[in-house]
Amino acid sequence: MPVLAANPSPEPEAEAWQPEVDAAQPEANAAAQPEPKEVAALTPELDTPTPTQVEVPKPEKKKEPKPKLEEPLSEGGEGTAANREGKGGLRVVPFGRVFARVSADEREQYARSLSIASARVGLAASLPHVEAEVTADLSSKSLLKDAFVRVADEQKRLRLYGGQFKAPFLARELESAWRLPLIRRGLVADYLEDTHNLGGRRLGLMGEVSIKEAWKLKVSGGVFQGTKDDDTGIRASEDASLRATVRPFKILTLGASTYFAQAFEGARTYALAADAVLKLGGLEVTGEYVNGHLPTGPFAAQMGLASYTVPLLLEGLAVQPVAGAEMMQLLGPLKARGYAFVGGINVLYSEHFKAQLQAEHALRPGDPAAGFEYSLQLATRF
C-alpha cells in the first residue's frame, strides 16, 4: 500500500487551454494571434529597381534630292540658285560642255567624219538683281558665243538683256543643245539662220515681261544688230524680234515668234512661227510651223519631233527613243522643197553624260538627191 501510494499511475496530459474566440470579433482575433517575428534578417533586401534607359532610334534622315545642274542663261536657264532663293552676295559659277561626233554620209560615199561639234566653256556671275554670262566655243571660228548682262526686278517679272545672245525666234533654235534630243537642229533652222541670217546670236538689247497669273505669259522683244555683207563689209540696219509663250495647262506650252530683217527699212525678209510643246510623263511632242518671205520669195516650213524617256534600273540611267520629221517649201519664182526624217536612240546618264545614235534621210536645199547620214555623238558637261 505505501508503495502504491508513492507511485501513482500516470494520468494523461491535458491539452493546452486556448480561449475560444468568436469569429465575429476581429479585434479579439487579432489579439489572440501571436505577434509575428521579425523576418527582415531572414529575407534579403530587394534593391529598388532602377528604370532602364531605352535607346530611341534616331529618325532616318530623308535623302535630299541632288540639285539639278543649272542651265546657263544662254541655254534657257532661269537664273542661278542664288537668285532663285533670294540670297545676296556675288556668286560665280563655271560651266562647260564637249560634244564629240562621228558621222558617215551616203552623199559622200559614207566617208567618215570625226569632229568636235562643240567645246564650250563659260562663266556665269550673279547678284540679287543682276546676272552676267560669258561663253566661248573653242571649236568654232567665232570664239565668242554669248556675252551679256541681265537685270531683273525683285519678283523677276521684268528683265532687260544687253549684249550678245540668241534672238527670241524659232523654238527649235532657242532650245538648249543639251536638252534637244536631236544631234542637229535640223535643215529648217540651219537654212533660215545660216543661209538667210534670220535669228541666231547677235548683239542687241531685249526686254522681257513675265506674268505667272496669266497662264505664265512671257513676252520677249528686242532690237539686234543687222547682218554684215561678206562682199562689201557693210552692215545692214537693225533687225527686230518678238516672242510670246503661254502655258494654259501644266502639260501644254504654246508660243509664237517673229523675226524682221532690217526692220526699220521695210523688212523685206521676215519669218513668222507658231509652236506647241506637249509633255506627258516621259513623252514629249513638239511641233512648229513657219512661213514668211526670203530673198528668193515666200516660203513655208513644218517641224515635228517626239521623244520618250524610259528610266532604267540603275539610278540616273535612261534610254530615249526619238523620231522627227521636217519639210520646207520655197514658193517663189525659184521653187524647191526639202525634207528630213530622223530616228534614233539616246542613252542618258545623270545630267552629265549622254550618247546619241541617229540616222537621217534628208533632201537638203542644194542637194541633187536625198541620202542617208548616220551619226554617233558623245557629250558631257559640267
pLDDT single digits (tens) 274-329: 999 999 999 999 999 999 999 999 999 999 999 999 999 999 999 999 999 999 99
pTM of the model: 0.79
Could you tell me the CA-to-CA distances from 177 to 85, 157, 181, 231, 289 in Å, in that order? 26, 26, 8, 31, 20
Distance of CA 286 to the CA centre of its chain: 18
Distance linking the first and last C-alpha atoms of the chain: 139
Could you tell me the CA-to-CA distances from 134 to 148, 158, 262 in Å, in that order? 7, 22, 27
In a domain, 186, yes or no: yes
In the beta sheet, which residues pair with residue 339?
327, 363
In a domain, 56, yes or no: no
In a domain, 39, yes or no: no
In the beta sheet, which residues pair with residue 256?
244, 274
pLDDT of residue 332: 86
pLDDT of residue 334: 84
> What grid cell was written down for 4?
502504491
Answer for the pair 282, 167: CB distance below 8 angstroms, yes or no: no
pLDDT of residue 209: 98
- Give dist(CA 118, CA 143) in Å, integer: 11
Q: Which long-range contacts (CB under 8 A, 24 or more apart) does 374-378 make?
A: 374/103, 374/104, 375/101, 375/102, 375/103, 375/183, 375/184, 376/101, 376/102, 376/103, 377/99, 377/100, 377/101, 377/102, 377/117, 377/183, 378/99, 378/100, 378/101, 378/353, 378/354
What total number of domains does the chain contain? 1
pLDDT of residue 23: 41
- Give dist(CA 185, CA 77) in Å, integer: 19
Cβ neighbours of residue 2 closer than 8 Å, sequence gap 6 or more:
none
Distance of CA 306 to the CA centre of its chain: 18
**Element containing residue 171 per DSSP (H, E):** helix 171-174
In a domain, 146, yes or no: yes
> What grid cell was written down for 15?
491539452
Could you tell me the CA-to-CA distances from 376 to 99, 265, 311, 359, 373 in Å, in that order? 10, 44, 21, 9, 10
How do the pLDDT tens digits run along the chain, 382 residues long?
343 344 444 444 444 444 444 444 444 444 444 454 444 444 444 454 555 555 555 655 555 555 566 677 777 666 554 455 545 689 999 999 999 999 999 999 999 999 999 999 999 999 999 999 999 999 988 899 999 999 999 999 999 999 999 999 999 999 999 999 999 999 999 999 999 999 999 999 999 999 999 999 999 999 999 998 877 888 999 999 999 999 999 999 999 999 999 999 988 899 999 999 999 999 999 999 999 999 999 999 999 999 999 999 999 999 999 999 999 999 988 889 999 999 999 999 999 999 999 999 999 887 889 999 999 999 999 9
In a domain, 52, yes or no: no
- Give dist(CA 187, CA 181) in Å, integer: 15
CATH code at position 368: 2.40.160.10
In a domain, 108, yes or no: yes
Residue 376's domain spans which residues?
73-381
- Give dist(CA 338, CA 28) in Å, integer: 125
- Give dist(CA 138, CA 119) in Å, integer: 5
In a domain, 21, yes or no: no
pLDDT of residue 62: 58
In a domain, 245, yes or no: yes
pLDDT of residue 80: 54
